[in-house]
Structure 1
Amino acid sequence: MRSPISENDIVTILPLQLVSIREVSDDFSMTFFKVDKEMFLDIMSGLGKITPDFFFYMRKNFLYSVNDVDRNRFLGFCRTIDLRGSNDDPVFLRETILHLLRIYYWDFYVLFQQTTSAKKRPFVNTNKENIAMRFAMLVGEHHKTRWEVAFYADKLCISPVYLTKVVLEVNGQSAHEMIADYVVIEIKTLLRDARLDIKAVARRAGFANQSSLSRFFRLHTGMSPTEYRRTIHVTR
């Protein structure tokens, strides 16, 4: 999909979404921020139940033309992130930035819900995109208990090999990686609840015990659940 970018356009590219700039004018400039996949998953873990179809909508609707008021609002948002990043206490900085970025993505989610409610039609068109979205919806429903690609392929009445191929082609990551991402978001969401001990988090996330949870979480995030919890419940 080719889209010209003009003055007052806001472009939002999701992790693993590939883009390229073919040519630029002499007067082209942009203000931007970027987040890595780990931070993106942290952002999503604090937004509640974001439905999977939102991400498919965002992939197709990555460019918005806004008026001067909304442009200045976005530039002010970027300045706020820059200011907080330069002046905030380092102990609390990461969580501060995460909360600001959640506002940005939440605004897009609200717009998505309003747009889909008004149009009353899905945004997924091709057969492969439909398979990928149905897979994502199933993962959102069953990821606490089922991690096998074969389970989801059976639900979709296709082979695991074809499902893996389609998901990789549409999303840029494998079916196994998508399932793991959903589980990681679920764990991070639970870890944000200080009332739950790690054993309770493991149980609610569908793990047999605390050890298996810790192994999985460290494999996919590089830290233990306890270490991650320290980054979100910061104290001196």
Structure 2
Amino acid sequence: MKSIIPIYTLEQFVETNNFELLNKDLISRKVDPDNLDCIELNFPAKINSFSLLLVTAGNVRLNIDFQQITLQRNDIIFLYPSNIIEFLEVSSDTCFQNLFLSVEYFTNLNFQMNSQEALDILSNNFSKVITLCENSALNINHNFDRLSALNNPKNDTLFNREMQKSIVTLVMYELAGYVQKQRNPLVKTFRKEDIALKFAHLVGQHYQTRRDVQFYADQIYVTRTHLTRTIKDVYDKNPKQIIEDKIISEAKILLLKSGISINQVMKELRFDDQPTFTKFFKKKTGYSPNVYRRSLMNA
């Protein structure tokens, strides 16, 4: 079955926000107290791009798929096209830089990585928060500003795109090198976290068809008891909760689209019938799918 989950492209994002850009495969934007109203809270969305979000002041609370994350000053997170992003709260003094890169643009950068630690920050389909030192945060923030300036049509020159590509590559190498240097204190790679990352990745692949915890335990080659204990330690939720939260996140995204019937949503998420889906959705959210959809329209 072809997925009907809406994926917003960078082009749609540019049109919605009326950005004027030389290169629409790359967007670098700054959010600060003067334009915080551009952030729509409690609105889960998926955008077909890689992205970086660097907080330079204040606090940002997000949902990344099923995991709630709070970012503070000098925290940066790398996000993937498969992630569902929902802003929950931003402090009144919040400032952050957001860099979006189209999938084609990012994959054509052709990074040359020699260490597994460096490669991990770029290749694992799971978001990681890195707390940068002051110097690295300033460097990356400065490069985001340069990318924004180079993408302004008023600053068009013959080599703008080449300079942009060089700066993006520089940012990614700075991050990868920082992770490699710091090792375990910043990005945990212990056995427990490895299992949790594998589980999260598998849930993203199979949540529609496999909701039994034993399936995921078998895929990771651990017992169900060990998987449950590990996931509880890392995420403070049991595996079943995480699988169900992923389904609810996708259901909410689908229900945002008025052109998709609730029956279609039910079929996309592989429920046997609409009453079963309605019961599941209401148990997790407190609302039936119909009521939830009407509340979005009236908001």
* Shared fold (TM-score, shorter chain, > 0.5): yes
| Alpha-carbon distance in 2 for matches of 1:79, 1:63 | 13
Q: C-alpha deviations, 1:35-63, integer Å up to 9, x for none?
A: xxxxx9x54x3234799xx689986x944
Give the equivalent residue in structure 2 for 1:149: 213
Change (3 A) 1:148 1:136: same
Tell me, what secondary structure is at the counterpart of 1:233? helix
| Alpha-carbon distance in 2 for matches of 1:189, 1:223 | 15
| Alpha-carbon distance in 1 for matches of 2:99, 2:278 | 33
Give the alignment partner of residue 73 of structure 2, picking from 64, 67, 78.
Answer: 64
Whether contact under 8 Å (2:67, 2:235) holds in the other structure is: no
For 1:152, the aligned partner's letter is Y
State TM-score, norm by structure 2: 0.45
Number of matched pairs: 160
Alignment RMSD (CA, Å):
4.1
Q: 1:224 offset after TM fit, Å?
A: 0.2
Q: Which is further off, 114-123 or 193-202?
A: 114-123
Identity %: 25
Q: C-alpha deviations, 1:111-166, integer Å up to 9, x for none?
A: 96987674187934111011011101100110011110000000000011100000
Whether contact under 8 Å (1:192, 1:229) holds in the other structure is: yes
Gap runs ≥5 in structure 1: 1-39, 67-76, 82-102
For 1:143, the aligned partner's letter is Y
Give the equivalent residue in structure 2 for 1:47: 46
- Asked if 1:119 corresponds to 2:179, the answer is no
Structure (1/2) with the larger strand percentage: 2
Gap runs ≥5 in structure 2: 1-40, 51-63, 76-89, 102-126, 130-167, 181-186
Change (3 A) 1:116 1:218: farther
| Alpha-carbon distance in 2 for matches of 1:174, 1:132 | 11
Give the equivalent residue in structure 2 for 1:208: 272
For 1:47, the aligned partner's letter is K
Give the alignment partner of residue 162 of structure 1, picking from 213, 226, 232.
Answer: 226
Structure (1/2) with the larger helix percentage: 1
**Higher RCO (C-alpha under 8 Å, 6+ residues apart):** 1
Q: 1:232 offset after TM fit, Å?
A: 1.2
Whether contact under 8 Å (1:147, 1:179) holds in the other structure is: yes
State TM-score, norm by structure 1: 0.56
